[in-house]
Structures are given as C-alpha cells and as structure tokens.
Amino acid sequence: MAIYSVGRRRVIVALLLTLVLLLTLDLRGNVVIERFRDGFATAMSPVESATDVVTTPAARTWNGVTRYDDLERENQALQDELDRLIGTQASYRLAVEEAAELKALLSLQALAGIPTEVAKVVGASSNNLDQVIEIDKGSLSGFKVGMPVVNQAGLIGKITDVTLNTSKVMLITDSRYAVPVRVQGAPEADLGPPDTRPSGRTNDELEDLVTTTLVTDVLATESSLPQNEAAPTPGQDGDADADDVPVGATPENPDAVDDPDALDPAVPADPDDPLAGSPTTDVTTTTTEPIVTTTAVVPDLPAKEFGALEGRGRGLIPQIRFLQDNPSLAVLQEGDLVVTAGGFDSLAPPDIPIGVVINRADRSGPGGPLLDVQPYADVTRLNFVRVVKYTPLSEVEQE
C-alpha cells in the first residue's frame, strides 16, 4: 500500500514550503497578498452576513441558557450603579466645570483637537490566542494601522489591520500589545479601581456598591474622551477639554446632568454618537443594554514613573514592566493611576486613562517591580468604540 509514496511526500513537503514562503512574504509586507486579502474579505462579507442572521437565534438561545444568572446580577449591579451615579453626578458638576476651565487655561494636551470617529464592533477573534476585535470602518474613514482606540472608560487597544470597510483592533489584553505609560499617584480618596464588570461581583460587593465611594465617585463626573464631534464642546479646538463635559451634559444644556433622563444610559444624549449613552445593540444578541463604562479623567497628579504596559492574553490583566522605584519621588503602589505617556514615537497621545494598579510584585535584580493593572475599560463587552486619528510626532515630522 503506497500510502507514503515519494510523490505524496513531495506534495506534503511542497505545501509546507509554500506556506513558509507565503508567511515570509506576508510578514515582510506584500501588496499582492494584501489585495488578495481585501478581495477575500469582500467575498466573505455576504456569507458572514447571511450566517450571522441564521445563527443569531442559536447564539441567543445559548446565551440565554448559559448566561442568565450573569445577566441578572449585572442588571442589578447596573441599577445600583446608576442610582449611585445619579446621586453623585450632580454634586460634582460644579467641580467638573471648574476643572474644565482650569485645563483650558493651562492648555493641557489631551484628546481635544484630535479628530475621532465612532465605529461599531462587528466581530471578535475566532481563535483562542488573539485578543482582537473587528470594527465596521476602515481606510475609507481615514483609519490607519497604529491608531489608538478608546471607549468612554479609556484606552482599549490599537488598530493593527485595515481594509476598506473594516479594521482589526488589538486589545490591550493581547499578549503582543505594548504601549508606553505613565504611572501617577492616586488621589487620597481613591479606594480602588472602578469595577466595570459588575457581573463579576458577589452579592456582598453589590451591597457595598450603595455605600462605598469608589474612585469613580471622585473622577466619574467627566470623561476624558471627546464626546461629540458634530456639536463643539468646550474642549474641542483647544479651548477646553471635550472630555470635561459631564456625561449627559452639553454646552447648550449644561443642566442635563440634573435631568435623570440625561443620565440614563438608555436615553441617547446624541443619536449620532453611540458612545454618548445611547442604547447600544450588541453585535450578536441585538438586545439593548447600556454601555458599561466608567468615565474617568486623569487628574493633575505627579508622575511617579514611566514604563511599558503589556497585555498578557485572554483572562489576564495587563502588566507594567521596565519600572524602577524612585524613592525620592514616590513609591509605586496599589491604587496608582496609569495613563498613556505619549511621546515622540508613541502611537497614543498622552493622558488617555488606562487603569489602576491593583497589585505590585517585586522582582529580584535590576528588573524593578511588576505592576498589575486593572483596565478601566471592560474589553470583554465592547459595542461601540472611538478611533483616535492620532499620528505620532515622529511620523508628522516625516510628512
């Protein structure tokens, strides 16, 4: 029986060598492969749309059976959090407005003035290693590889692949992701990181939500991300930070925060801006659920240290490496805030909030401590994201 004849062995070897050749060509960047990829993505588009329609009921049924308890717990937590936010938001409105004015006076560099665009998450990576999502806009919208992607909670990743109408976004939890960050001290009232995953809370934690003041109480009254491109907000064009507008409030209607409807995520603040609190439709379930985000802003706190935040894969929180304690300034500790550092070569502008240090592990030798960072953004629940059309300073100079 000629199972492994020379001819068959040659076929197998030829196939493997062809794959190695293709891999090498693609890694070095090949126009033909890129065009073929675009063409295949276009061909797959109707198939995927049809399959999505057909399989949605099955996926909903599965989610209904397996995630009912989580949804119930999450709904309860969201209700608690909403009540808490309504109570606290009005109190902090004054402070937010003052902070906006101060920031405008100081001309702090942030996302103000950088064009952004909202995109919808249409898919996730289908393998078990990558932490990549797919969004519904691509090069036709001006997206480029490397652009940072945020939601209302903070940084969620960067664009790694762009086709005409879609883009791939590598999440901050992907083991290949790295971004320069700055660690800075937390305000004294900081009691811990904001939990944007209420479904993971225990009943005791849910009860605590009502009485405990988290860092979001101090910081949550404003978002550090631009909220509205169509209607200028104080902050765009550099006069003040768009992020400094309270959720639900606009320059035309600054009292919107007093209106419970304005704070209700189910009520859209701006129909063109899904990130502004409109009802969102899940890609696969299409059930309306409020965006689970915790808005935060980076207060003007002294920088403790600069380092590199690296993802570690699915289910693991990112870590910061390349740090050195600097006792003359401050010691790195739990509760420290983490924001993007910016810089000449960085793909992300400075001061985008990322998360909070929740654990510090000391290493022997010159490696310095490892910091575990709990991201503000819940990258497992993304519906709409905002792409920041930021070009690094190094590339601006080349242009």
Examine residue 281 and tell whether it contacts other proteins (CB under 8 A): no
Give the shortest CB-43-to-other proteins separation in angstroms. Answer: 8
Give the shortest CB-95-to-other proteins separation in angstroms. Answer: 41
Examine residue 27 and tell whether it contacts other proteins (CB under 8 A): yes
Examine residue 33 and tell whether it contacts other proteins (CB under 8 A): yes
Half-sphere exposure of 161 (CA within 13 A, CB side): 16
Examine residue 313 and tell whether it contacts other proteins (CB under 8 A): yes
Helix (H, G, I), strand (E, B) or coil at 194: coil
Examine residue 139 and tell whether it contacts other proteins (CB under 8 A): no
Task: Please state, in angstroms and rounded to a whole number, the distance separating the CA atoms of residues 132 and 174.
Answer: 7
Q: What does the per-residue mask of binding to other proteins show for 212-251, with x meaning CB under 8 A?
A: ----------------------------------------
Contact 159, 146 (CB under 8 A): yes
The DSSP-derived string for 291-321 is ------------EEEEEEEE---TT---EEE
Examine residue 22 and tell whether it contacts other proteins (CB under 8 A): yes
Instruction: Name the burial class of residue 116, with classes exposed (0-12), middle (13-18) and buried (19+) by CB atoms within 10 angstroms of its CB.
Output: buried
Give the shortest CB-150-to-other proteins separation in angstroms. Answer: 21
Q: Which of 6, 58, 230, 361 binds other proteins (CB under 8 A)?
A: 58
- Which of these segments, 13-21, 149-157, 237-245, 383-391, binds other proteins (CB under 8 A)? 13-21
The one-character DSSP state at 330 is B
User: What is the total residue count of the chain?
Assistant: 399
Examine residue 3 and tell whether it contacts other proteins (CB under 8 A): yes
Task: Please state, in angstroms and rounded to a whole number, the distance separating the CA atoms of residues 140 and 268.
Answer: 27
- Which of these segments, 191-199, 213-221, 223-231, 310-318, binds other proteins (CB under 8 A)? 310-318
Give the shortest CB-317-to-other proteins separation in angstroms. Answer: 14
The CA angle 209-214-220, to the nearest 5 degrees, is 110
The residues, ordered by sequence, that sit 6+ positions from 69 with a Cβ below 8 Å of its Cβ are none
Instruction: Name residue 280's amino acid.
Output: T
Interface positions with other proteins (CB under 8 A) = 1, 3-4, 8, 11-12, 15-16, 18-20, 22-23, 25-27, 33, 36-37, 40-41, 43-44, 47-48, 50-52, 55-56, 58-59, 62-63, 123-130, 132, 160-161, 168, 175-176, 284, 313-315
